[in-house]
């Protein structure tokens, strides 16, 4: 199937967790559509590999821990010296261990929530003022069906993603009088490296809940992100877009 063309010329996008998986595929599509892309990631080796593989003069990067507000703020100040930030894709996230809540290691719980929820908050807090200044912005927060349904043995991940959904709804309403759209996407399991962090039993349990009987393809996810990030999206905001193969029905 041919991909729909989008025009992201003269737009600058920040993609967190952009060195692999969803983030890297979004970066490729944005670059092919004319955008300048800045990938934020915590893994220097993966960032270097991504820059080499894509080999595009419109692509740059920062090593950023999104759970650290000072790092986020510093990177935003550096970028906005010479450019606006028109698009923010809050994609960085980790699943954490598979464990019951009462056995969950406390520091790991904090880490999972810090990256998945506080990371989204930190990036929005630092970047939204630039979007307000220019009366333009598109923010896509990558949540999960786990944030809707709550996955057994993944309570920290479910909480972090549920929080990201709530944040999306609040921020979208706060910015509704401006040309800034804030939306969340709730994918089911997808063919990315994040599956490698889970036990085979957990992965199979996830798959069994999807009526389409397969995992989400990365390109399918990217297509939805592109529309939400485009100028064509003039009315949808503070919304949650499901892409779960029929798993979630609300």
Distance from C-alpha of 238 to C-alpha of 170, rounded to nearest angstrom = 7
Dihedral pair phi/psi, residue 216, rounded to 5°: -65, 135
pLDDT digits (tens, 9 = 90+) for 147-180: 999 999 999 999 999 999 999 999 999 999 999 9
pLDDT digits (tens, 9 = 90+) for 90-112: 999 999 999 999 999 999 999 99
Distance from C-alpha of 232 to C-alpha of 205, rounded to nearest angstrom = 37
The alpha-carbon radius of gyration of the chain (Å, integer) is 17
**Boundaries of every domain in the chain:** 12-243
The CATH homologous superfamily to which domain 12-243 belongs is NAD(P)-binding Rossmann-like Domain (3.40.50.720)
Q: Is 6 a known active-site residue?
A: no
- Which residue among the candidates 6, 104, 136, 157 is catalytic per the annotation? 157
* Residue of 25 and 203 predicted with greater confidence: 25
Q: What is the pLDDT of residue 123?
A: 99
- The pLDDT confidence band at residue 63, using thresholds 50, 70 and 90, is very high
The DSSP line for 99-153 is B-GGG--HHHHHHHHIIIIIHHHHHHHHHHHHHHHHT-EEEEEE--HHHHH--TT
- The pLDDT confidence band at residue 194, using thresholds 50, 70 and 90, is low
């Amino acid at each position: 199937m041919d991909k729909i063309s989008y025009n992201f010329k003269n737009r600058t996008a920040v993609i967190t967790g952009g060195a692999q998986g969803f983030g890297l595929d979004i970066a490729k599509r944005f670059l092919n559509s004319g955008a300048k892309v800045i990938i934020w990631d915590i893994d220097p080796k993966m960032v270097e590999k991504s820059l080499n593989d894509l080999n595009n003069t419109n692509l740059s990067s920062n090593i950023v821990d999104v759970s650290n507000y000072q790092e986020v703020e510093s990177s935003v100040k550096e970028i906005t010296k010479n450019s606006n930030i028109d698009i923010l894709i809050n994609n960085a996230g980790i699943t954490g261990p598979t464990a019951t809540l009462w056995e969950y290691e406390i520091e790991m719980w904090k880490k999972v929530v810090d990256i998945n929820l506080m990371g989204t908050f930190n990036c929005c807090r630092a970047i939204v003022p630039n979007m307000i200044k220019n009366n333009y912005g598109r923010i896509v927060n990558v949540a999960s069906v786990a944030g809707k349904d709550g996955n057994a043995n993944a309570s920290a991940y479910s909480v972090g993603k549920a929080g990201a959904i709530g944040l999306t709804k609040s921020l979208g309403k706060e910015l509704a009088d401006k040309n800034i759209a804030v939306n969340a996407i709730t994918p089911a399991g997808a063919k990315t490296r994040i599956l490698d962090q889970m036990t085979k039993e957990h992965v199979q349990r996830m798959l069994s809940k999807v009526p389409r009987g397969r995992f989400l393809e990365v390109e399918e996810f990217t297509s939805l992100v592109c529309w939400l990030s485009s100028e064509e999206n003039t009315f949808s905001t503070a919304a949650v877009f499901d892409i779960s193969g029929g798993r979630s029905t609300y």
